[in-house]
Amino acid sequence: MRNKPIVVFILGPTGAGKSNFAARLAKKIDGEIISCDSMQVYKGMAIISQQPPLGLRKIIPHHLVDILNPSKKWDAASFVETARKAAEDIIRRGYIPIFVGGTGLYARAFIKGLFSSPPKDEKLRKALYDEAKRRGKSKLYKRLMNIDPDYASKIHSNDLRRIVRALEVYKLTGKPISKHHSETKGIENKYKTLIFILTRDREELYKRIDERVEKMFAQGIVKEVKRLRKKKISKTAKAALGFKEVESYIKGEYGLEEAKELLKKNTRHYAKRQLTWFRKEQGARWIELGTEKQNAFLVNAMAGEIKTVHSPQSIDYRPQKYEVSS
């Protein structure tokens, strides 16, 4: 029986050093990189989304980077559909897909699958939010515990958005959201999935985040945001970390140094949230990066492990074109 093709995930918080690590790994295992980042897909947002530099992308093929107009919506469903085509093409040509990024929701959606959720019912949703205001979030959470204890145990009792959505799905479909999830298939049966979470010592990670923010301003993030503000951009693109902080500086609400410090603080908070998410990722291997010498050793060790389980498929080296859904 033919072994399953391998799909590698290199995930972790912003600033950990995922892009360079993954590129070095890709060289050693004949890999191509698929961005698992909610913002790097957009054109004209190279600095704010910290897209891998063009020089690196010329050496190692990168997919889902700098391909979508920022006026377009991009979400987990869009990512799964487009990333699946990219991964299948990479595997068909005899290479290994390496998903790299910090958007944990996208990675989980690709691995576990996304169920076809019912469209939003604004009237029902408003009624649930109004009830939460009148009676408190705890009442809705208790109701969810009775309806779907499995899903309720996986979310925080104060996470009103997810509580409301779960109750909404149950009301519209008559089925708990956990049941929908269990019936949804991702790639686990089709591919052998290896998940690595890269992190760093907290002080080192925060230092790298601060340095990254300074570099973003030196590279011209203010000019980039000014250009984006002149265009019609989607809510998704506008949610990029740094847009709000730089826009406030442009409007005169903050001084330059205040804007920098605010972005540093918000990026650190974002990194914390990413780590919290990744701790729930089942089957993931955690790797703490260090010096260049230590990281080189880790790349070699990881490459050796991947090669031992990789079974080449029938190879077709002709690249296949695939389109991003607009």
CATH number of 244's domain: 3.40.50.300
Whether 300 and 161 share a structural domain: no
pLDDT in tens, 184-215: 666 767 889 999 999 999 999 999 999 999 99
Same domain, 207 and 94: yes
Q: Is residue 319 part of a domain?
A: no
Residues 22 and 109 in one domain: yes
Same domain flag for 201 and 175: no
- Provide the domain count of the chain: 2
316 in a structural domain: no
Domain boundary pick from 132, 154, 182: 182
Q: Tell me how far apart the 2 most distant CA atoms of the chain are, in Å.
A: 65
pLDDT in tens, 278-292: 998 888 999 999 999
Reported as a pLDDT band with limits 50, 70 and 90, residue 319 is very low
Q: Which residue has the tokens 């980077």?
A: 65
DSSP H/E element including 105: helix 104-112
Q: What is the pLDDT of residue 272?
A: 95
Is there a contact between 161 and 132 (Cβ–Cβ < 8 Å)?
A: no
Query: Does any domain span residue 322?
Result: no
Q: What CATH number is given to the structural domain containing 156?
A: 1.10.20.140
Asked which of 153, 182, 211 is the last residue of a domain, the reply is 182
CB atoms within 10 A of CB 319: 11
Q: Specify the pTM.
A: 0.79
Bridge partners, residue 33, by sequence: 62, 98
Q: Are residues 156 and 176 in the same domain?
A: yes
pLDDT class of 312 with cuts at 50, 70, 90? very low
Which tops the pLDDT comparison, 21 or 326? 21
The predicted structure's pLDDT at residue 205: 97
User: In a 10 Å sphere around its CB, with 0-12 CB exposed, 13-18 middle and 19+ buried, how is residue 41 labelled?
Assistant: buried
Average confidence (pLDDT) over 138-149 = 93
For residues 189 and 178, membership in a common domain is answered with no
* Whether residue 268 sits in one domain with residue 153: no
Q: Give the residue among 87, 324, 86, 76 at the shortest CA–CA distance from 192.
A: 87
The per-residue pLDDT for 215 is 97
- Shared domain for 136 and 50, answered yes or no, is no
- What is the rounded radius of gyration, in angstroms, for the C-alpha atoms of the chain? 21
Claim to verify: residue 239 and residue 107 sit in the same structural domain: yes
Per residue in 70-109, pLDDT (tens digit) is: 999 999 889 999 999 999 999 999 999 999 999 999 999 8
Domain span at 62: 6-114+185-309
